[in-house]
Amino acid sequence: MEEAAELSVGTLAEAAAFARRISYAQYLTSGLAGIDTRVSALKAVEAAPFVYRFTGARFFWTDAATQQELSEAEAQRRMRRAERSRDARSSDLESSLEIADGVDPQAYDSLTADELALILFVLRCIRLFGGYKTGFELGRRLYATLAVRRRIQEVLLPALAAMDVGEPHHMTAPQWETVWIETLSNDMFYTLRAEPQGSQSHAVAAASLLSIARRLPSLVPDRAMSYRVPLDVDMEMGLHDELARPGPFARHLAPPPLGAAPAVTLDPWRGSDQGNSFAVAIGSWIRAHALLHRPLRQRPAGLTLGAVRALVAQAREAGKRVKRQHLEPLVKQKTSLPMAAVKASLEHMAGLPDSTPLQQPVAVSRTQLQQAAAVAAAATERGCDGCGRCFTKYFNCGGCRQRRYCSRACQVADWRGGHKAACKQMAEEAAEATGEAKAKGGAERGT
């Protein structure tokens, strides 16, 4: 990320080279890594015009007080001042986005590999402004439109794979496809949640996500993070069985991409045989929950309590490895309720031997489940106060020093999301608490 931030984006070729490095970071983290907001905005302002005919997106800077548009030179001057003070507020800047109507769908017929890489970067920048509708329209054109999707898979992704050969950030065609469809999936999820069920946009988002969930695990099976989006689809749509066979959403799906693997069951356990700690941790908790709480006819014959305990032990061991990668909160987010239910059930049966047969679904009271979920939530590592994800390094808000962030993007988003109104009060409360602690310490030393 730091190396990419130093690259020029003055031409399409330079902007695409920058975007390819950013995409590699996205591949490594499944989008958990983010580039600094200041860098993103500066690059987007300069690079977005190269793909304007596809996106209709124009980025620019405005004065926070007057909302007047600023020149790029003035914006950079203010940012340098803010950087010296290490306070995002001192720049008095706001990044702005303007979306034009009437983008020509035929433009995608001449889309190049460089333009595709740059569109993925611009799409991530658009998301900072909450523009899920624009992102959804891009996703619909790039994925749900069969002719465009096939051209990307057959022509553009191999062309991207032929670039940067020998460089650390080089990616194969399957890796590029992974980045491409994971990037598009974010706004598909937003659309699925925001648009009314039965609308065309909801149906397109559902069909696209179902197709993506089938496709992703087959591209790079040994990449643990490839199971994140499919699991989200399963939980969001409740379509576990639909991922293994045609169902109500099948009529919305375009024919499968050329060279696509056969449809696979969306089992979060997939990938554990490659040693994927992320897949093992999530899959073990969900599998244990299914064994304990599903009807008897859905359980394997001869199921014992020991088998479930072994699954939980496996999940915990995988969780230790995931924790070292700072992904534990993500696992808990995806499995909070199954994890709480399993822990409550096993605690209820703590005195029983491993050989105990499980003949009936285990009942857990609401109180037990709430208590177990509260304990799990309390034990979760505190992450970034903007996105909630965990990283190795953070920086604090320059005002209150109480909120911490992984990037300027998260700081700005949190500032706009409400911290601006609370910052001063939090600073006063922190100073008061510090003063009381010092006074108490002095009194104790004097006695």
If 0-12 CB within 10 Å is exposed, 13-18 middle and 19+ buried, where does residue 425 land? exposed
Q: Which residues pair with 304 in a beta bridge?
A: 357
**265 domain-assigned:** no
As to burial, measured by CB atoms within 10 angstroms (0-12 exposed, 13-18 middle, 19+ buried), residue 248 is: exposed
**Domain termination residue (choose one: 378, 405, 426):** 378
Mean pLDDT of 238-250: 39
* pLDDT exceeds 60 at position 447: no
Residue 378's pLDDT is 53
User: Is 45 in the same domain as 184?
Assistant: yes
Number of domains present in the structure of the chain: 3
What is the four-CA torsion angle of 220, 224, 228, 231, rounded to 10 degrees?
A: 90
In a shared domain, residues 155 and 235: yes
Q: Are residues 194 and 164 in the same domain?
A: yes
pLDDT tens sequence across 137-176? 888 888 888 889 999 999 999 999 999 999 988 999 999 9
CA nearest 277: which of 240, 241, 330, 213? 330
Are residues 236 and 197 located together in one domain of the fold? yes
Whether 298 and 217 map to the same domain: the answer is no
Structural domain of 333: 273-378
State whether 198 and 154 are in the same domain: yes
Q: Indicate the DSSP class of residue 315.
A: H
Mean pLDDT computed over 210-232: 78
Rg of the Cα trace of the chain? 25
Structural domain contains residue 233: yes
Q: What is the pLDDT of residue 130?
A: 63
Q: What is the C-alpha to C-alpha distance for residues 322 and 328, in angstroms, rounded to an integer?
A: 6
The residue that leads in pLDDT, 127 or 356, is 356
Asked if 62 and 70 count as a contact pair (C-beta separation under 8 A), the reply is yes
Which pair of tokens denotes residue 123?
């799409």
Give whichever of 126-140, 174-188, 380-394, 419-433 has the largest mean pLDDT.
174-188
Q: Residue 282 — φ and ψ, nearest 5°?
A: -70, -45
Which SS3 state, helix, strand or coil, does residue 439 take? Answer: helix
DSSP-derived 3-state class of residue 34: coil
From 230, 258, 286, the end of a domain falls on 258
pTM for the model:
0.61
Q: Are residues 240 and 283 in the same domain?
A: no
| pLDDT (tens digit per residue) in 177-220 | 999 999 998 888 888 888 888 888 888 988 898 888 888 878 88
Mention every residue, 6+ apart, whose C-beta is less than 8 A from residue 321.
Answer: 277
Report percent pLDDT > 70 for the chain: 70
Strand order in the sheet with 93-99: 69-70, 57-63, 93-99
127 pLDDT band, cuts 50/70/90, is confident
Mean pLDDT of 344-349: 86
6-24 pLDDT, tens digit per residue, is 777 789 999 999 999 889 8
Pair (158, 32) in one structural domain: yes
Residue 368 confidence (pLDDT): 58
Residue 251 reports pLDDT greater than 50: no
- Distance between CA atoms of 413 and 433, rounded to whole angstroms? 27
Residue 236 buriedness (CB in 10 A; 0-12 / 13-18 / 19+): middle
Kindly list the distances between the CA atom of residue 386 and the CA atoms of 128, 233, 262, 394, 401, in Å, as whole numbers in the listed order.
Answer: 12, 24, 39, 11, 14
* 422 within a domain of the structure (yes/no): yes
CA distance 178 to 266: 16
Longest dimension (CA), the chain: 82
| Predicted local confidence at residue 265, as pLDDT | 36
Mean pLDDT in the chain?
A: 76
Are 208 and 246 members of one domain? yes
Task: Return the sign of the alpha-carbon dihedral for residues 239, 245, 250, 254.
Answer: positive
Q: Could you tell me if 347 and 440 lie in one domain?
A: no
Report the range of poorest mean pLDDT among 91-105, 119-133, 178-192, 373-387: 373-387
Helix, strand, or coil (residue 45): helix
Same structural domain for residues 244 and 295? no
The token duo for 325 is 């990668």
- Tabulate helix, strand, coil % of the chain (nearest 5): 65, 5, 30
> What distance in Å separates the CA atoms of residue 2 and residue 13, rounded to the nearest whole number?
19
